[in-house]
Copies of this chain bind each other. A is one copy, B any other.
């Protein structure tokens, strides 16, 4: 069951490098070289197209289309939505002497592709040896403007190495890309304008009726001819190259999706294009570099090898590259630019999972933002606030009250078409409650709590109370017919995770509303009016929370759900590697009837509510559940690693950490080609910060318990926390805490509380 790295890219502290092109890795490279600026995303596909296997995915965050499903039973989703490819803005065709450039067929050399994480740029360079014997060096550069979400840039540099002559160039903007799974182009009603060296295309999705404006402006020598096809605007030109005199074509692009439509959008788009015209690609690139420099000041994680032997150095260098790649991708995919956005499981790097966001957002991603970009953390919660109406509608469909947050969504509506997940998993709802708590707890932002959080908590509490039921035997409350985080047990009763999260969510809702009544009575009154909240309801929340079933043996072992201890045992080590992933090889139901679990369920509680459980309870449950877990979720190993580190099982902690940072760089799951495992990147960050620095953010004071993996000599990272910036510098023998910015603050290290002031703190390892 060990996952095996599929090494392809070259290790470098700040770059991901592909030297030479292997078509077998074409899609993996496209994913790894994907760029995003939260607003736009583009896979690293070849600008010039060609016959190489490719998913031509350029995406606009929030753009989706709909599918009406056959009417089924009540509560089963009958309309789903899914991210669709948006404007292909790098589309280019290049030909020399009638030969069209196609790296799937052409002769070429010196291929190199680089993602630079200090600038967020992708460059690709090679020498094309044409059939007519000409050598043409081509270099493609692209980036998505981190300051202006609607802007994108492409540069094509050409150098005739052994000739003087002409090159035909066709380039444009196209909405003609098919959705890969459905093989349909979801764009219709297109308006096209071509004038001089610029073109604009505006198109509308077939069913959702969303409109996107895309335009480009070329810095190109000579006059271009324009061509329009159904959903495509193209400019054509013939470039005259002089031997060894490089030539550069810059394309400035605007892709606007601002919620307007028709003429309004068209005018907004043209205005945005005009603004772009005032900024050269080089100026934008300079600003781009500054953005990333700023990012790394807060979000960098630096690790150094413990030994100087080549092997250790290589592994740690890979980890260094890996963790930077994770941090880079997280910052690319979401920075709080818009509360309309959330974080898709694959971000904007592929169409797998339909672009949907899951409970990963609150459970896995939120901590990263809480400690590096708290404003973005708030924006993520505002997404949930703004989609509260959809969650309330969903609860109604489930014959419940309040708000049931969707399992999978782009727009707040439930998009998950598998009823067993959509109707039985309440992780999203309790994760929202948890996220609100975690955010308010870490940031102290009570305004958010009163203004938005309380209302969400109230509606989630209503849902939880309307969905709970009493055991015939014990009379205690519990959730029946649910699926916990461990999706290998489809429909169970009293799932410990669901019950406990329900209990804590209800308690927090109760406490919050009670506190609000005292501290913000006028706001409380308004909320009561808006939601029809009755005094009695709070009492019921408390009663349900106080009487929630939580099956724990005398030893402290928590039963994952009713009957779990009876389930047939399977030795997961006995499953041949070739049968993974099980979903692809086993009969669907076969996966679900043993004690094998997919990902942490009971153990997840210890990650989220760490200080609420004793060391002994954590140990006993870890020892029981870990050997039964196959980690078919990419989030699973990090949670185990964090707990193992806490339990002093450093070797296990390091092993579980193993591929966390390089899940996609080394294509461990063999599905990187479908897109990056974005939310896993957040867990890789958490793995280091919660795992090896021992950060715990669920107590009154943030706690640390640093403990380095054997192969590291040093780990440095920073955290933002309540207006401060803390620099943490761990070495084997000590950890230094420095207050880079802000007022002194209390923190706990190895169980002892200190005040961290300007002078810093050095704590010896225990």
Query: Measuring CB to CB, which residues of chain A are less than 8 angstroms from any residue of chain B?
Result: 72-76, 397-400, 419-420, 423-424, 469-474, 480-481, 490-491, 493, 562-563, 565-569, 583-590, 592-595
Contacts and interface: CB of A to CB of B under 8 A. Distances in A.
Contacts of A400: 587
A491 B493 contact: no
A473 B566 contact: yes
B74 A472 contact: no
A282 B568 CA distance: 67
A518 to B, nearest CB: 35
Given A493-B567, A567-B472, A481 B74 contact: no
A565 to B, nearest CB: 6
Given A75-B588, A469-B593, 12 more contacts: A74-B586, A75-B587, A76-B588, A398-B589, A399-B587, A400-B587, A419-B589, A469-B594, A471-B566, A480-B594, A562-B562, A562-B566
Contacts of A399: 586-587, 590
B490 A587 contact: no
A474 B590 CA distance: 21
A568 B469 contact: yes
A110 to B, nearest CB: 41
Copies of this chain held together in the complex: 2
A729 B563 CA distance: 52
A493 B563 contact: yes
Given A480-B567, A594-B480, A589 B469 contact: no
A592 B584 CA distance: 28
B74 A593 contact: no
A74 to B, nearest CB: 5
Contacts of A562: 562-563, 566
Given A74-B586, A587-B75, A587-B398, A491 B568 contact: no
Q: Give the residue among A75, A470, A589, A594 with the most B Cβ atoms within 10 A.
A: A589
Contact of A480 (B480, B565, B585, B593): B593
Contact of A588 (B73, B469, B473, B566): B73
Contacts of A74: 584-588
A491 B590 CA distance: 12
A642 B137 CA distance: 88
B469 A75 contact: no
Contacts of A589: 75, 398, 419, 423-424, 481
Contacts of A569: 472
Nearest to A476: B566
Contacts of A470: 568
Nearest to A570: B469
Contacts of A76: 588
A37 B399 CA distance: 45
Contacts of A586: 74, 399
Given A562-B566, A567-B472, A567-B480, A588 B423 contact: yes
